[in-house]
Chains A and B, each alone.
Chain A
Amino acid sequence: MKPERQSRLPLYAFVAFIFAMYAAPAEAHLNTTGMGPLYDGLMHFLLSPEDFIPVLALSLLSGLRGAAYGRRALFVVPVAWLAGGLAGLSAVAATPHPFIAAGWFLLLGALLAAGANLTLGLTTGIAGLLGLYHGYLNGTGMGNSTSSAVALLGIVFGIFVVVALASAFVVRLQAHWARIAVRVAGSWIAASGLLMLGWAVRSI
């Protein structure tokens, strides 16, 4: 007598349940590089213009003002970003407000275009605020896990490198036209901020 063949469906269901229980977090916010969370964080920063461009603008502005300003931005922005990110990791996910995103573009772009003679204290304050705000938003989007903290470190490393390269590049610039070109870039950032403001108003 042929033995009755048992359905394997319960077994498949059990395996699927086990896999579902141990599902890794989706980490939808980060771009996955396949090289681990540190590089995911690094690439996230480099591929996120809403984070990258304000940092770039601040770096260029600091560089225009001199080496002391560049050094201050180099340490304040990453540290503030890390502090904000760590605070955000355990907070409820928050979405960036379009008006504030436009405001950063507008403020930093306008200051850069004007070649503003900011004091070191004011530059430090702006750098700290920028880092805390964007870091917090990054943190809330990552979820609270070890890999999120490592990804946050990757972001901070990316910021450190970008600030170092951009501000050092501008500090070294001697030619008048080259420094003007940096300020023109600031006007483009400010113009983008104005348009973003229009988009934000339109979306209300």
Chain B
Amino acid sequence: MLVLLCAQAAFAHPLKGEATGFLTGFRHPISGLDHVLAMVAVGLWGAQLGAPAIWLLPVAFPLVMAMGGMLGLMGVPIPGIEYGIAASAILLGLAVMFEVRPPLAIAALLVGFFAIFHGHAHGAELPPGQSAMLYSIGFVIATGCLHAVGIGIDSVHRWSWGQKFLRVAGAMVALGGAFFLYKAVA
């Protein structure tokens, strides 16, 4: 009875390995809190900056992250990956906290720079034997959804309490980044 209750999904219809590839890819970006913090912060910051940053930053991040992922898959080494990921959460969190408003190009460059680290970490960790295409699609969709969550949370910005809430959220992201930086150094 216990074994029957714990039965896994059959995945009978898709071709072998396809569902696993998509789901594994989708789970990958949301499985690490350091990645989640940074990606949500990108959405928050983009929404704070308004158009066109609200869509440009969430477009730039997955694209450059995929480039980093490609480098990771190809085995091209990038030093200080964990530091870069932690620094991304700290700086993006601070940017949200203080509502920093740099020129669009600077914001896009900053986000793109950090995306390389996140992508490389994911690319280097990818498990062998997955369906490459479905894994990639799941991976990118999950990243985009995390940005969308950030943009959605930022909709409270119109209220004064919402602005305070966002500042606190930015501070929490930065604190999380500091924790991960401490873990990387220690």
Name A's B-contacting residues (CB within 8 A): 31, 47, 49-50, 53, 98, 101, 105, 113, 180, 183-184, 187-188, 190-203
Determine whether the beta carbon of B59 is less than 8 Å from that of A113: yes
Tell me whether B26 is interfacial, beta carbon within 8 Å.
Answer: no
CA distance A113 to B75 in the complex (A): 28
Q: Would you list 14 pairs from A and B whose C-beta atoms are within 8 A, ordered by A residue?
A: A31-B13, A47-B13, A49-B134, A105-B133, A113-B63, A180-B55, A184-B59, A187-B62, A188-B144, A191-B143, A198-B70, A198-B73, A200-B132, A201-B70
Asked if B58 CB lies within 8 Å of chain A CBs, one says yes
* Residues of chain B lying within 8 A (CB to CB) of residue A113: 59, 63
Check if B172 is an interface residue, CB within 8 A of chain A: no
CA distance A200 to B74 in the complex (A): 9
B177 on interface, CB distance cutoff 8 Å: no
The distance in angstroms between the C-alpha atoms of A35 and B70, with both chains bound, is 41
Contacts of B133 in A (CB 8 A): 49-50, 101, 105, 192, 196
Also in contact, A184 and B58, with CB within 8 A (given A195-B70, A201-B73, A202-B74): yes
A203 and B55 CA atoms in complex are apart in Å by 34
State whether A198 touches B71 (Cβ < 8 A). Answer: yes
Q: Does B140 contact A (CB under 8 A)?
A: yes
- Say yes or no for B69: interface residue by CB 8 A criterion: yes
Q: Which residues of B contact A184 (CB under 8 A)?
A: 55, 58-59, 144
A198→B125 CA distance, assembly (Å): 13
Contact of A191 with B134 in the complex, beta carbons under 8 Å: no
Identify the B interface with A (CB < 8 A): 13-15, 55, 58-59, 62-63, 65-67, 69-75, 123, 132-137, 139-141, 143-144
Asked whether, in the complex, the Cβ of A192 is within 8 Å of the Cβ of B71, the reply is no
Greatest chain B CB density within 10 A among A49, A50, A180, A195 is at A195
Min CB gap B9→A, angstroms: 17
Q: How far is the CA of A188 from the CA of B133 in the complex (A)?
A: 12
Report A-chain residues with C-beta under 8 Å of the C-beta of B13: 31, 47
Give A133 Cβ to nearest chain B Cβ, in Å.
16
Query: Closest Cβ of chain A: how far from B14's Cβ, in Å?
Result: 7
C-alpha gap A101/B63 in the complex (Å): 18
Are the CB atoms of B137 and A49 closer together than 8 Å? yes
Nearest chain B residue, comparing its CB with the CB of A43: B13
Whether A192 contacts B140 in the complex (CB less than 8 A), given A49-B134, A101-B133, comes out as yes
Question: Shortest Cβ distance from B70 into chain A, in angstroms?
Answer: 3
Cβ of A194 and Cβ of B132 under 8 Å apart?
A: no
- Within 8 Å by CB of B73, from A31, A49, A191, A199, lies A199
Partner of B132, one of A53, A180, A191, A199: A199
